[in-house]
């Protein structure tokens, strides 16, 4: 089995999305059996509680967030749909879950606002609830894996192996971190945390911290949790597919 994994894309109004078409073209060329979108495909900036009251919050609209996510999803999936039909799995991230949190905290919005508004399922994705791991080929995928009673994200690949005792892939955290181990039966385990696949810089990060690795991953020869990982950087995709 071959699995392609797309880390956090943070699609929102006003940011470039050319890389999504590049990603779709690469996936169409390589034809993995499964494509996993690890969550936070949509940024949903209009629902960001941290930015409310700030100057940069002005002009943000929920409808614009939804429309930009749809536009980005079309850019990603159109090149793939022209060639073949892989299994599509999407694990919801905390940014998509913002809509559900708002509705939960404000009952007057119940039935009016939801992560379902993104209509990922209409694009062909099997949508996995936020923080519910899905296992494919012995590898667990989740936007992040919580730890402790407070449910804070596990932030290192080594800790992820220690906690989960199986191969895992998580997003959420910028850059990439990889750790290797071996189960008692001798099967290799690999944990990867990779949470950045976008062209824009985030305003809340400094020029230095915005210089994290960005790209997608391919997991080759997946069987019973063992696989050979291959990183495909955003810069490589840009060189190969930018007109």
Rounded to an integer, the average pLDDT of 205-215 is 84
Report percent pLDDT > 90 for the chain. Answer: 79
17 vs 151, more confident:
17
Task: Give tens-digit pLDDT for 151-160.
Answer: 899 999 999 9
Task: Report the domain count for the chain.
Answer: 1
Task: Give tens-digit pLDDT for 85-106.
Answer: 999 999 999 999 988 888 777 7
**Which pLDDT value is given to residue 211?**
85
46/38 Cα distance (integer angstroms): 21
CA dihedral over 2, 91, 62, 49, signed as positive or negative: negative
**Which pLDDT value is given to residue 57?**
57
Residue with tokens 């919050």: 57
Task: Give tens-digit pLDDT for 100-127.
Answer: 888 777 777 777 788 999 999 999 999 9
Burial class (CB in 10 A: 0-12, 13-18, 19+), 84: exposed
Residue 113's CB is within 10 A of a number of other CB atoms, namely: 18
DSSP string, 83-124: T---EEEEE--TTTTHHHHHHHH-GGGTTT--GGGG-GGGGT
Q: Do residues 33 and 220 touch, judged by C-beta distance below 8 A?
A: no
Q: Quote the pTM value.
A: 0.93
Could you give the strand order of the β-sheet that contains 139-142, starting from the edge strand earlier in sequence? 134-136, 139-142, 168-170, 188-194, 176-182
Give the pLDDT band of residue 161 (cuts 50, 70, 90): very high
The three-state secondary structure class of 2 is coil
Task: Give tens-digit pLDDT for 74-83.
Answer: 999 999 999 9
Q: Which token pair is 88?
A: 């599509």
Question: CATH number of the domain that 36 lies in?
Answer: 3.60.21
**Which pLDDT value is given to residue 102?**
80
Task: Give tens-digit pLDDT for 18-60.
Answer: 999 999 999 999 999 999 999 999 999 988 765 555 555 566 7
* Parent domain of 128: 3-241
Please calculate the CA angle 43-49-53 and round it to the nearest 5 degrees: 115
Report percent pLDDT > 70 for the chain. Answer: 95
**Which pLDDT value is given to residue 99?**
86
**Which pLDDT value is given to residue 56?**
59
Q: Which token pair is 42?
A: 């949509």
Q: Do residues 179 and 194 touch, judged by C-beta distance below 8 A?
A: no
- Mean pLDDT for all residues in the chain: 92
Lowest mean pLDDT among 62-66, 139-143, 165-169, 228-232: 62-66
173/158 Cα distance (integer angstroms): 14
145/91 Cα distance (integer angstroms): 12
* Tally: H helices and E strands in the chain: 5, 13
Highest mean pLDDT among 10-24, 112-126, 192-206: 10-24
């Amino acid at each position: 089995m071959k699995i392609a994994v797309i880390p956090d894309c943070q699609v929102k109004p006003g940011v470039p999305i050319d890389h999504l078409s590049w990603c779709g073209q690469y996936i169409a060329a390589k034809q993995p059996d499964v494509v996993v979108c690890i969550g936070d495909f949509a940024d949903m900036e209009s629902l960001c509680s941290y930015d409310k009251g700030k100057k940069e919050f002005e002009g943000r609209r929920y409808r614009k967030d939804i429309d930009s996510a749809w536009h980005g999803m079309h850019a990603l999936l159109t090149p793939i749909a022209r060639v073949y039909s892989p299994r599509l799995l999407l694990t919801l991230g905390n940014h998509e879950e913002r809509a559900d949190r708002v509705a939960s905290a404000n009952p007057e919005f119940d039935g009016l606002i939801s992560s379902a508004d993104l209509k990922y399922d209409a694009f062909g994705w099997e949508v996995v609830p936020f923080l519910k791991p899905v296992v494919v080929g012995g590898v667990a995928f989740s936007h992040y894996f919580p730890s402790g009673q407070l449910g804070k994200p596990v932030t290192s690949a080594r800790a992820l192996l220690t906690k989960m005792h199986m191969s895992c892939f998580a997003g959420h955290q910028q850059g990439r971190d990889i750790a290797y181990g071996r189960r008692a039966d001798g099967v290799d385990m690999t944990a990867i945390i990779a949470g950045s696949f976008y062209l824009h810089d985030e305003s809340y990060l400094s020029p230095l911290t915005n210089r994290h690795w960005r790209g997608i991953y391919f997991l080759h020869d997946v069987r019973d949790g063992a696989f050979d990982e291959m990183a495909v950087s955003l810069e490589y995709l840009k060189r190969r597919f930018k007109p």
